[in-house]
Structures are given as C-alpha cells and as structure tokens.
Amino acid sequence: MIRDYKISIIRILAMISIVSCHIFQSLDMQIAFWLNVGVQVFLFMSGYLYGQKTIDNNKNWIIKQFKKILVPYYIYVLCIIGVYLIFASNDMTWNNVISLLTLQIFCSLPKGLGHLWFILIILACYMITPLLQKIIKSNIYARNKKIILIFIICILVEFLFFQSKITTNICNIICYILGYLIAYEKSKEKNKTIECIIIILAIITNAIKIFDVNSNNIVINSILNILVLNSHILLGSAIFIILYKLFKNINNLLRETNKKYIDTIDSYCYYIYITHHVFILGPLSLINITPIFVINLLIIIICIIISSYLLKKITDLIINKKNK
C-alpha cells in the first residue's frame, strides 16, 4: 500500500501545533487557545483514516487500538507518578493517581498532565467505530437518522455539562465522526458539499466566538453557546480538509530522503504528545529554568526528544515481547 504523506505531514503539523499551544500557554498568550486545535485536527484525521478501512473482527480491532494507545500511556503514567512523588509530591495526591490510572473517569488530572484527557476521548472514538461502520452500511434513511441522533446526543450532553461548568470533551467525538463519514462517502459531489458546509460553519462559529456575540433572548443565547461550543471542532475539521487539499500532490514532490525524515517524525508523534506537557506546564516545568527563554526552549525540546524516544523504545520492547 502506497503511504499517504499528506496524512503524515498533517499529523506532524498537528503535533507541532499542540506543543506550541502549551508553550504559548506557559507564557500566558491568548494564541495558545487557537493552536490547541491540533487535537481536533488529529481526531478528524483519525476518523478519516478509519473510515477508509473495513473492520472484519470488532473485538480484535478494538484490542489492537487499545493496546496501541494504552501500553505507552501506562508506561508513561507509572514513570511520571514516581517522578512526581520524588520532585513534586504535593501535586500528586491519591486522587491524582486514581485519575491517571482510570483515564480521568473519576477525578481531575494533576497539574502538568492535563493534556491526557485526550486518551479517554480517542478510546471512545475507537469503541464507536464498529458501530459507525454498521450504521454506514445500513440504508440511507436509517443511516442519516442514526448519525444525526449521535451528533445531537454528543452536543446536548456536552452542553448540559458546559452549563454546569464541567468539561467532558465529549463533543470532540464529533470530529472523529465527521472524518469517518467523509472518508466513507464515495460520492465526490456529496463530499465537496459536506466539506464546504464544514468550512463555512467553522468561519461563522469562530466569528461568533471572536466577536463574543450574545443575545438577551435565552433560546438564541443557548443556540449561540452551542455554536461556540462546537467552533473548535469545526475549525479543526476545516483545517484538515484545507491542508489535505493543499498537499494534494505532495507524494510526487517529496524526495526519498525527505520521506524517511517524515516517516521517523511521524512515528514519534503520539509519544511526543504524551511526554511533552510535563516539561512546559505544571510543577516540573522547565520554561523558566534559566533567565534566557531560548535556552529554556532548547532544553525542553531536548527533553521531549529523549523522553519520547525512550517511551517508544520501551513500548516496542513490551509489545514485541508479548507478540512472540
């Protein structure tokens, strides 16, 4: 199968966006909360990739995906709990330990590890993938009803929690579903229409957020809140669609040497995501380790490279050992 370097490059850009987001967040710069759209880009891309594949054995497929996500996650979590207990024991309570081990189901995540909320969401996306495949293969009328119902449930649940000042990130699953639907849809004309609608809605909803549009009418204000709640989801989806079209001919333009570099960086993206945050935010942050920001940034990059390299190597050893 020919490798699609459009996907690899977008994944790398999404990863850079997320790391940059946390660096800007540590500097208390507002741009951070736009750059974190890299998570939504990644979710849409994951849905897009799995929408092109057929799952023959649901159980084996889910086990494989869970292993891919959870083996490096738990290796990192067990290590980082030990590091916190040594260097930042006040920031690692029993509630924090439970939160990390249960994927934030019962408690909030500790400072410096808040980015790990993503793990539960991507696993939820994998869990519903066989269901999405089943829905897609049903007749058009039934399929449309079920998909709309899933969207409504995700939005309403998130909105209800949003009103209670509780964040569940459930709405992010919509990114995955949108990517899955576009990949599965064989009609190019329908796809173009859906993609245009997503891009237009992304512009409108983010304009509402930027200009802080609100109304005295409770119903209208609730609708505006729902639109703002989904603005980031639509933005991430739109960015993927635009980048995928921009990189249309990238496979033919890349040299073999460049492809090898892209392959290597791409293979570390997930490990970089898991390990990077602790060096930038929280009690173990290195962002102010010296008075010179550029030196701090260089130290952080080196730490991210070393930690992601070690995490990948340990993960590969464990998975390969189990497969023997």
pLDDT tens-place string over residues 96-139: 999 999 988 767 789 999 999 999 999 999 998 998 888 877 76
CB-CB contact of 265 with 5 (8 Å) = no
Does pLDDT of 166 surpass 60?
A: no
Does pLDDT of 292 surpass 90?
A: yes
Burial of residue 79, with CB atoms counted within 10 A of its CB: 0-12 exposed, 13-18 middle, 19 or more buried:
middle
Mean pLDDT score, 269-290: 97
Average per-residue pLDDT for the chain: 88
Pick the closest to residue 16 from 201, 276, 197 (CA basis): 276
Count the neighbouring beta carbons within 10 Å of the beta carbon of residue 119: 20
Query: Which residue did the predictor score with more confidence, 146 or 61?
Result: 61
**Which pLDDT score is estimated for 156?**
62
pLDDT in tens, 238-263: 999 999 999 989 988 898 889 999 99
**Which pLDDT score is estimated for 117?**
92
In single-letter form, the type of residue at position 121 comes to I
**In sequence order, what are the residues at sequence separation of 6 or more whose Cβ sits closer than 8 angstroms to the Cβ of residue 191?**
182, 185
Does pLDDT of 1 surpass 60?
A: no
Residues in the chain: 324
**Which pLDDT score is estimated for 164?**
41
Mean pLDDT score, 51-62: 92
204 pLDDT tier (thresholds 50, 70, 90): very high
The model's pTM = 0.91
Mean pLDDT score, 45-50: 95
Q: Which domain holds residue 110?
A: 5-323
Number of domains in the chain: 1
CB-CB contact of 277 with 28 (8 Å) = no
pLDDT in tens, 85-99: 999 999 999 999 999
Does pLDDT of 142 surpass 80?
A: no
d(CA 194, CA 128): 22
193 pLDDT tier (thresholds 50, 70, 90): confident
